[in-house]
Amino acid sequence: MLREMSTLYGRTPGGYVWAVAQPVGALVVLTVAFTILLRSPPLGNSFILFYASGYLPFTVYATVALTVQNAIQFSKQLLYYPAVSWLDAIIARFLLNLLTSITVMVIVLFGILHLTEASATLSPGPIVLSVLLAALVGLGIGTLNCLLTGLFSAWANVWSIITRPMILIAGVLFIYEHLPEWFQGYLWYTPWIHITGLSRSGVYATYDPTYISLTVVALWALVPLFFGLLLLRRFHKDILNR
């Protein structure tokens, strides 16, 4: 964890400031763009709070998934020491980036509520649950991708292309209820729309997303995690020797 902290944030001017600046910059761009296009956000009266309530949990998933995916490659030199295992590398990256993402989320939400005209009575339960579920899905998918990327180097590029429009279907820019019914049927089977809806229910007291299924999210997290860990135990030495 210390090695990753020094590598990712210790070698650039500003260090951890960029961890906060990146989501803030993305939210500002979204807010400016959609303020021009729309008269009011789908929920509440603040564009930046609406997009933050969906974007921040999504970044938890995206950050954890990407860093766990590259865990073995990132720590490859350390893994030649018997005292360090491939599982250590995955756990360390998962914990560090989860804690970083949570810290960034708290700072950004606090800043929005105190530095802008946005107002909300936050309910911590749904927000915390959405963050933990987002991290768990990121861990599961990241672990499976860690295996696939290690065995097939082209998989990282393929996955990047496949998931490029992910933010468009994750419910960051809209709410589930405003979509056509046929499209709702497809999105219901993806975990991100449930995570986003759960997060927004903790930000907006009047929003009650009845479509949320924790079972769907759990399956997306635990199934790839199970197969990823099982196969990494079998093939991690092959990955290290490539």
DSSP 24-67: HHHHHHHHHHHHHH-SS-SSSS-HHHHHHHHHHHHHHHHHHHHH
CA distance linking residue 190 with residue 32, whole number of Å: 28
Mean pLDDT taken over the chain: 88
More confident residue, 4 or 165: 165
The pTM score is: 0.90
Specify the range with the lowest mean pLDDT, choosing from 30-44, 58-72, 90-104, 166-180: 30-44
Cβ burial, residue 222 (10 Å; 0-12/13-18/19+) = middle
CA distances in angstroms from 226 to 122, 141, 233, listed in the order given: 34, 10, 11
Specify the range with the lowest mean pLDDT, choosing from 6-20, 74-88, 165-179, 214-228: 6-20
As a whole number, mean pLDDT of residues 79-103 equals: 88
Provide the 10 A C-beta neighbour count for residue 177. Answer: 12
Q: Which of 109, 110, 105 is nearest to 135 (CA)?
A: 105
As a whole number, mean pLDDT of residues 175-187 equals: 91
Residue 164: pLDDT above 80? yes
Residue 238: pLDDT above 70? yes
Please say whether the beta carbons of 217 and 194 come within 8 A. Answer: yes
Which residue has tokens 């990712």?
Answer: 8
Q: Which of 21, 20, 23, 50 is nearest to 35 (CA)?
A: 50
Please tell me the predicted confidence (pLDDT) of residue 28. 79
**Cα-to-chain-centroid distance, residue 86:** 22
Residues 6+ apart with CB under 8 A from 32: none
